[in-house]
Amino acid sequence: MFEHLDTAPPDAILGLNEAFRNDPNPDKINLSVGVYKDAAGRTPVLACVKEAERRLVEVESSKSYLAIDGLPEFGQLVRGLMFGPEHEITTSGRAVSLQTPGGTGALRVAADFLRKKLAGTTVWCSKPTWVNHPKIFEAADCPVKTYDYIDADGVGLDFDAMLKSLEQIPAGDVVLLHGCCHNPTGIDPTPEQWKQIAEVVRRRALLPLVDFAYQGFGESLEADVRGLREICSEGTEAIVCSSYSKNFGLYSERVGALTLIAEGPEAAQAALSHAKTCVRTNYSNPPQHGAAIVTTVLADAELRRQWEQELAEMRNRINSMREQFVQTMRTASPGHDFSFIAAQRGMFSFSGLTPLQVDELRTKHSVYVVTAGGRINVAGITPDNIERLCAAIGEVL
Ligand code: LMR
């Protein structure tokens, strides 16, 4: 039955992770998948998560199915985290949230929902975007196109070109925006630019779909929501796909949320009913553990304080690695200016390394970065590997 099948190409990001695992070089460096590493190169379980798990194990009395849309308190808490507990989107009933298996799960449910209920709508992604974005929407038979984003040098936002391409998107189409810490470039619009983006999206009656996977990894939990709140201002409809893999370090627990923001509560409930149908015919209902952890932490003042502190530590370490990378590259390759890396935010940066250089990094130095744009996961750089990494980059340059 399967003899006629060719082998599918490995995934552009997770395939590298597999290749890294199989690399016997003890000095190998993995800057491919977006996973945080501490200074010792470990991906830790946050202390607030450990404590929440301890409490959960004590009180858990059943492993029966959750509702199709997940834990009831989870949606309210994540909306509060994104918009603030008093914001009209959190309190008015015109927004509904479904707990999903990761941000990717949220995107796929959104894609199924769009194809079934807004058939024919094209999804417009930034050029470049996360390599999995177009694949998720195409897998659900949603047409995908791109709008301009980075400048010709690949180090900053070409805002004029971005606005110009947003102006040309037909009314009713979906525009996929990265709420903060743009993946793969680390280049975000300024607060003033977000205002202008929101104005175009509203005036042209586009449906914004905000992928919000890195809240707290840019400047702070509060500052990182400026763009999202601008896009979802009073009266606007929107879809938000949020992830808690990175900011809670819950990668393997698969915790995300799909939030549908409608004009009013009735429309929101109708939208929810259709999104639930998409879930039921896909994975039926979500897993409990990860979302129970997020719920426990966000609902408890002490655990939440601890979480915010641990999140700030992760963010500060990444930002200090950005600075150190720029400094170290000055010596490793004096002819190349990497100062743009220090200005970017989140886990990723486009290094500008060519596919050939990326290939040499892997084959000659066991350094793994994503081929497209030479995307590096800055969160994988540590005091122990930075010298070797920069020397290797200097050599391939
Ligand atoms: C990444 O871009 O590396 C992360 O979002 C993880 C993934 O699933 O690709």
CATH of the domain at 340: 3.90.1150.10
Residue 323 belongs to a domain: yes
Does 71 lie in the same domain as 39? no
Which pLDDT belongs to residue 213?
A: 98
Q: What is the pLDDT of residues 76-106, one digit of tens each?
A: 999 999 999 889 998 889 999 999 999 999 9
Residue 191 belongs to a domain: yes
- Number of alpha carbons in the 13 Å side-chain half-sphere of residue 49: 18
Pocket of ligand 1 (CB under 6 A): 13, 33-34, 130, 132, 183
Cα distance between residue 205 and residue 169, in whole Å = 10
Does 294 lie in the same domain as 166? yes
Does 292 lie in the same domain as 363? no
Q: What is the pLDDT of residues 123-167, one digit of tens each?
A: 999 999 999 999 999 999 999 999 999 999 889 999 999 999 999
Residue 50 belongs to a domain: no
Whole-model pTM: value is 0.96
Tell me which residue range forms the domain holding 380: 14-44+314-396
Residue nearest to atom 5 of ligand 1 (CA): 34
Does 277 lie in the same domain as 133? yes
Residue 304 belongs to a domain: no
Does 321 lie in the same domain as 292? no
Domain count, the chain: 2
Cα 198 from chain centroid? 20
Q: Whose CA is closest to 207, among 231, 241, 243, 180?
A: 231
Q: Which atom of ligand 1 is nearest to the CA of 32?
A: 3
* Active site (catalytic) residues: 130, 211, 246
Residue 145 belongs to a domain: yes
Q: Which atom of ligand 1 is nearest to the CA of 183?
A: 2
Determine how β-strand 95-100 pairs with β-strand 207-212: unpaired
Radius of gyration from C-alpha coordinates of the chain: 21
Q: How many DSSP H helices and E strands does the chain contain?
A: 15, 11
Q: What is the pLDDT of residues 170-214, one digit of tens each?
A: 999 999 999 999 999 999 999 999 999 999 999 999 999 999 999
- Cα(17) to ligand 1 centroid in Å equals 11
Does 372 lie in the same domain as 281? no
What does the DSSP 8-state code read for residue 8? P
CATH number of the domain within which 245 lies = 3.40.640.10
